[in-house]
Structure 1
Amino acid sequence: MSSLSFALRTHPGLKRPKNEDAVGHLLTPWGGVFIVADGMGGHRTGEVASRLAVETILEHLKEAEPSPKALLEAFERANARIYQEALRPENRGMGTTATCLLLDLPYALIAHVGDSRAYLLRGEELALLTQDHSWVAERVRQGLLTAEEARVHRWRNVITNALGSFPQARVDLLGLKLQPGDTLLLCTDGLSGVLEDRTLKEALRNFPPEEATRRLVELANEWGGPDNVSVAVVRPPQELPQGTRPYALPLEAAGGAPVRLHLGEEPEELPTQVLELKERPRVGWRDVLLILLWVVVVAYILLGYLRP
């Protein structure tokens, strides 16, 4: 797509002996696919995990029609492939973060595992679209840590969710309808953990994608380059195509704001509420009666013991 501009860049940083990040992209008739991944594990397994995630997700989405279901299936395939590799003794502990942008213009679908991030620059506002799956991020959401405390906490690199860590993938999905002038940023924590949001915004607002990625990587290294750093900047065309998709209704209703996507049996029919991968069991009136009966029986037994 000629009017779509983008750039991807990865660098080992200044403190790590090798680069365990991976980036990849795929241009499609409906827009494109862009992904960043940050591998973890001993020896060379981190770089293997991130590479497998990028390869597997792009392979699946190359052939599939764009949809939340296709994006979820791509992550599930990557998770299964990495999990199988991690069963080998030499690969124990292998896993990777992954954040993927699927452009189905005028819509953007994002799948996310770990603490790599996706941002949206719209006008003068830079919004973080994803939620980190990390120990410190969960404590921040619980009100136990401030954002400033989390940034310097000694456990800030502890990930609570990664591709390959569990037999089943736990994936966040969200979508939004793009507007002219929007810019999307994907990055690993080697960037977001070093640079402040205002620095990210200035680079995205003032430079085209190729120059923005170069400057962001250089700035991360100027601030010490403590980790591998990977960046993808994507700027959709100014003239966005019109039309709808099977999953477009809740995205339209949200007025362009990000929407958490439902991952039930019918992924294309998406409500505007955040739901877990599996629905919670519904409690019927029979269940309520059984619970009340159980309470009455227990109370009767306790009264028998307590009588003088």
Structure 2
Amino acid sequence: MSDHTQRFLFEDTDVRGEMVRLDASYAQVLAKHPYPEPVAQLLGEMMAAAGLLIGTLKFDGLLVLQARSGGAVPLLMVECSSGREIRGIARYEADQILPGAGLAELMPEGVLAITVDPAKGKRYQGIVALDGHSLAACFSRYFASSEQLPTRFWLNADGRQACGMLLQQLPADRIRDATARESSWQHLTTLADTLTAEELLSLDAPTLLHRLYHQEPVRLFDPLEVRFHCSCSRERSATALVSLGQADAEALVEEQGGEVTIDCQFCNQRYAFDAADIAQLFAGGGSEAPSATRH
């Protein structure tokens, strides 16, 4: 499979890792909107981070990563379900995008929100400033400041592939001495810091791990597939219209010349509703597929 996450474990230490590679799903996201190269790279790194994080969470639901700023890129947003279905979008000001611009130039004074929305249970959100030199540094700092397990990220994207690696320190088990635990963690992350963008984007997991950790016993688990999927639907769009109330929904259709359309910002799918559709919705008839003249 071209798009996957893959977990690994250091046998003699309390450290686990995750790797992600996105080809087809990244290409499908980029095909929906004509992103300039620096924006496409940032969005790819955000997608890779979502793929890595979903593997660290044991829940049924949705992970949402959202970065906002007042700069050239006011929004980056990626959603990834516990079933590893991913989608993403970016908003940008085309006249402000400079070639080779990085995170600091594109999203100055930004904030990063990480939201876990389980199917059952309470929604959780954590926020950190986008004041690192890269998205990887910002995600790493989020975990360092949130009193969660120490976690480091390495992310890269080039408009064709989006890849990443994560290392996370686990609760004390194999190594209980605090000094020895810290020494082991520093050793493994220091080696990971030698990883180049070219290596991360071009090498498969077994080759990359051997290159970095050939002296460490590492157990590599089977890969798990990631795929692009947009959760929009005609039914969801109809629900949004119903939430307006019948009078407002009918007025909206009239204002729009007899047909109101709801566009999905992620995949550009358009859902159209005319007066007959609105009447059907509020009569309890549901949101059956549109006629051949509507999409």
Establish whether TM, by shorter chain, passes 0.5: no
Instruction: Return the TM-score normalized by structure 1.
Output: 0.29
Instruction: Return the TM-score normalized by structure 2.
Output: 0.30
